[in-house]
């Protein structure tokens, strides 16, 4: 049997000669305010797109960040003034046309924060309903759309929305949060059965809502293991 000749591999470029891509981390920060799913935006100070509102993002600091997760936590703290109880890597976006400064890649994340701890609007940070955040520079509109699709998909079968809740909440409030995310009504009885199956919240003994004219409702809180996102194999039923 005649063997094909082994062709020599192309030599590696000398150190420093290879073109290095721009590496950043961008974060889709989500919450529910005024009954609507909203994304946190920051205003760029420098070109390109100086003055434009974009997703919170920044360079990876190789002398400071142990990994991309570290960079995401730092950027959220610096750009949005908060830490998220839930932060997950979304995917990597890359290409030579996404940034005018050169070939770049962004390790994108999405984060969930309860409305009561959200940084309020200031000169460099604001919240915008996702439907009003379609015209973003770079490919941030695509990153936002991908994150919202991921969140809505997970909401159908997981406990993800509990990370949008305050420290204590009622089952009705939790169901309303699911409905805001999905933009659809859910069957009350089936929803409560599913939440019980997920086992991510617990009753607070002796804690009830108060208010004239309304029957007191049991208050709940997240279980410590809720961040592991216990899931079920089937979707939530709609009304």
For position 137, what pLDDT does the model report? 87
30, containing H or E segment: strand 22-33
CA 208 from chain centre, in angstroms, equals 31
For position 172, what pLDDT does the model report? 95
Q: How many CB atoms lie within 10 A of CB 16?
A: 6
pLDDT over 80 at 8, yes or no: no
Residue 80 in contact with residue 40, Cβ under 8 Å?
A: yes
Mean pLDDT of the chain: 85
What residue ranges define each of the domains in the chain, with the CATH number in brackets?
Answer: 20-153 (3.90.79.10), 161-224 (1.10.10.10)
Cα separation, 39 vs 130, in Å, equals: 6
Find the angle CA(84)-CA(88)-CA(91) to the nearest 5 degrees: 140
Confidence of residue 167 (pLDDT cuts 50, 70, 90): very high
* Short-list 39, 17, 41, CA closest to 30: 39
pLDDT digit string, tens, across residues 59-74:
999 999 999 999 999 9
Enter the pTM of the model: 0.84
């Amino acid at each position: 049997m005649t063997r094909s000749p082994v062709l020599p591999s192309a030599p590696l470029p000398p150190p420093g000669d290879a073109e290095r891509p721009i590496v950043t981390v961008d974060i889709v920060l989500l919450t529910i305010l005024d009954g609507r799913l909203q994304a946190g935006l920051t205003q760029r100070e420098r070109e390109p797109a100086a003055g434009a509102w974009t997703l919170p993002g920044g360079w990876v600091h190789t002398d400071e960040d142990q990994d991309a997760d570290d960079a995401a936590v730092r950027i959220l703290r610096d750009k949005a003034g908060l830490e998220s109880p839930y932060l997950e890597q979304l995917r990597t976006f890359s290409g030579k046309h996404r940034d005018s400064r050169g070939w770049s890649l962004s390790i994108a994340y999405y984060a969930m924060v309860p409305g009561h701890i959200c940084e309020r609007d200031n000169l460099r940070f604001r919240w915008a309903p996702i439907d009003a955040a379609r015209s973003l520079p770079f490919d941030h509109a695509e990153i936002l759309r991908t994150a919202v699709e991921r969140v809505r998909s997970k909401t159908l079968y997981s406990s993800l929305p509990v990370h949008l809740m305050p420290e204590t909440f009622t089952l009705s409030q939790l169901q309303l949060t699911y409905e805001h995310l999905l933009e659809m009504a859910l069957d009350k009885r089936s929803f409560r059965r599913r939440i019980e199956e997920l086992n991510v919240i617990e009753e607070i003994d002796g804690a009830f809502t108060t208010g004239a004219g309304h029957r007191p409702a049991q208050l709940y809180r997240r279980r410590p293991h809720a961040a592991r996102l216990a899931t079920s194999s089937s979707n939530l039923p709609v009304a």
